């Protein structure tokens, strides 16, 4: 259990602190962070920041956040920041004078403010704990941030409840007024509700277009052949999200829905092996032994699920294959690595592929992707990207990655001491 007394970073004084803060400080120390020399990295460079923003799920709801928070921030000494799920700030708006002062501690668009990078702060700690939090002044682990206070709340996907990002207010003591946390929580809820409304509107519009096409066909336009009925799901490839998730989220024109663990494994393998797989080979990849009868029974259930979902996805036999392309988020990461977009690829890599799966075929794909990413980070990635990778769950215990980062750092970099300490902890 954490002590209720916490030494300040310079060790000169001790004060009583909240348990949530002391536990965050302990996590910072375990990451070998130096509170005297912490300066957030620019995790998203200016050259890709626009692309990051436009592709982020919270981009469509920025008007809601601006209306509820940013509109009144000018002249208040407060900043409103919106970050992604990894703690990288994508938008920082509000009082212009405060924004200029905040640049000294690199509280700027593109900077990484996760706990792993800067220790205790409202944006990073809210993401680490998955709930809203207020951090007062010297509660920040980073000495450069003392004098600032902040309140932050994570934003979730309205359907899957996966964390999409974080909303933060930073400034003087007004940033941690009692009313600030409920205000940001209400803003996050409004943003999530707006996301749901936008999705429903998109689905309705696609349905209207499909109905209109059918109506036109009925007034003399040649109708499609019966073997290929018009399907909204075929307008674009379906997507399957399996990175950092124990079950897959299948997203089609009919909307997103969750697959069971076994069905996630099967669809992942068929999406990865686009040429198709024989029944015996697929059984080996899913079950690890000769279980063709079991596989065929599961395929019957999978076909029923896909049909009832309205996804338009069909699984054919001899060999088993998907007639409709399904793009894995793992495919996207590989494509980005092939193009040399290492920073974006690392951002798209949300964790191991179906980490809870023990299916031999899934483990093979998971390992191949992990090795491909690691090799790209070690051989081609820029220093700041390599350091971001070192801070991930997979990079934390990888001595070779930390050693490579140490070699790339300038001789007088303040980060060298922290990396050396981390390497020594790995050797113990």
Residue 178 and residue 154: Cα distance in Å, rounded?
18
Residue from 168, 188, 163 nearest 350 by CA: 163
The pLDDT, as a whole number, for residue 122 is 95
What are residue 83's DSSP bridge partners? 89, 166
Phi, psi at 5, each rounded to 5°: -110, 135
- What percentage of the chain has pLDDT greater than the value 70? 88
Dig out the tokens for 55 from the structure.
Answer: 């592709």
The pLDDT, as a whole number, for residue 4 is 38
As a whole number, mean pLDDT of residues 384-407 equals 91
Residue 198 and residue 413: Cα distance in Å, rounded?
46
Judged against a pLDDT cut of 90, whether residue 48 lies above it is answered with no
Q: What are 268-316's pLDDT values in tens digits?
A: 999 999 889 999 999 999 998 878 999 999 999 999 999 888 888 899 9
As a whole number, mean pLDDT of residues 401-405 equals 93
Judged against a pLDDT cut of 60, whether residue 25 lies above it is answered with yes
The pLDDT, as a whole number, for residue 31 is 83
Phi, psi at 170, each rounded to 5°: -125, 140
Q: How confident is the model at residue 210 (pLDDT cuts 50, 70, 90)?
A: low
Judged against a pLDDT cut of 70, whether residue 11 lies above it is answered with no
Can you give the residue ranges of every domain in the chain? Answer: 5-194, 231-381
Q: How confident is the model at residue 220 (pLDDT cuts 50, 70, 90)?
A: very low
H helix or E strand, kind and range, residue 198: helix 180-218
Q: Order across the sheet with 249-252: list the strands.
A: 255-258, 249-252, 238-241, 326-328
Dig out the tokens for 167 from the structure.
Answer: 């909303």
The pairing of strands 238-241 and 326-328 is: parallel
The pLDDT, as a whole number, for residue 199 is 82
Residue from 340, 338, 313 nearest 324 by CA: 313
Q: What are 339-387's pLDDT values in tens digits?
A: 787 877 888 888 999 999 999 999 999 999 999 999 999 988 888 889 9
The pLDDT, as a whole number, for residue 16 is 67
- What percentage of the chain has pLDDT greater than the value 90? 49
What are residue 274's DSSP bridge partners? none
**At the fourth CATH level, which superfamily is domain 5-194?**
GAF domain (3.30.450.40)
Judged against a pLDDT cut of 60, whether residue 245 lies above it is answered with yes
Judged against a pLDDT cut of 80, whether residue 3 lies above it is answered with no
Q: How confident is the model at residue 400 (pLDDT cuts 50, 70, 90)?
A: very high
The pairing of strands 321-322 and 315-316 is: antiparallel
């Amino acid at each position: 259990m954490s002590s209720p007394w916490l030494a300040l970073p310079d060790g000169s004084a001790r004060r009583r602190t909240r348990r949530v803060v002391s536990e965050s400080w302990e996590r910072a120390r375990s990451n070998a962070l130096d509170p005297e020399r912490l300066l957030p990295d620019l995790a998203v460079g200016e050259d890709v920041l626009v692309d990051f923003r436009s592709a982020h799920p919270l981009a469509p709801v920025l008007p809601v956040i601006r209306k509820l928070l940013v509109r009144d921030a000018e002249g208040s000494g407060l900043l409103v920041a919106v970050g992604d799920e990894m703690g990288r700030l994508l938008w920082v708006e509000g009082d212009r004078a405060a924004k200029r002062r905040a640049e000294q501690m690199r509280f700027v668009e593109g900077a990484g403010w996760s706990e792993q990078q800067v220790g205790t702060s409202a944006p990073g700690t809210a993401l680490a704990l998955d709930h809203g939090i207020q951090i007062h002044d010297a509660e920040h682990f980073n000495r450069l941030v003392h004098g600032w206070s902040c309140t932050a709340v994570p934003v979730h996907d309205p359907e899957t409840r996966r964390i999409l990002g974080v909303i933060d207010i930073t400034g003087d003591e007004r940033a941690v007024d009692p009313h600030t946390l409920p205000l940001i929580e209400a803003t996050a809820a409004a943003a999530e509700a707006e996301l749901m409304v936008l999705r429903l509107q998109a689905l309705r519009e696609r349905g209207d277009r499909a109905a209109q096409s059918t109506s036109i066909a009925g007034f003399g336009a040649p109708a499609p052949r019966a073997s290929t009925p018009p399907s909204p799901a075929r307008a674009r490839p379906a997507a399957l999200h399996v990175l950092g998730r124990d079950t897959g989220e299948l997203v089609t024109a009919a909307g997103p829905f969750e697959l069971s663990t076994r069905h996630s494994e099967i669809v992942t393998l068929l999406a990865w092996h686009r040429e198709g797989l024989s029944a015996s080979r697929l059984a080996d990849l899913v079950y690890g032994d000769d279980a063709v009868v079991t596989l065929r029974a599961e395929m019957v259930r999978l076909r029923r699920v896909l049909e009832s979902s309205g996804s338009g996805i069909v699984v054919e036999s001899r060999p088993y294959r998907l007639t409709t392309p399904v793009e894995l988020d793992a495919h996207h990461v590989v494509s980005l690595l092939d193009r040399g977009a290492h920073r974006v690829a690392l951002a798209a890599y949300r964790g191991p592929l179906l980490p809870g799966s023990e299916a031999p075929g899934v483990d093979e794909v998971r390992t191949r992707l992990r090795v491909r990413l690691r090799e790209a980070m070690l051989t081609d990635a820029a220093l700041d990207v390599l350091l971001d990778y070192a801070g991930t769950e997979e990079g934390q215990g990888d001595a070779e990655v930390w050693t490579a980062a140490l070699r790339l750092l300038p001789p007088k970099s303040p980060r060298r001491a922290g990396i050396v300490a981390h390497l020594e902890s790995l050797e113990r």
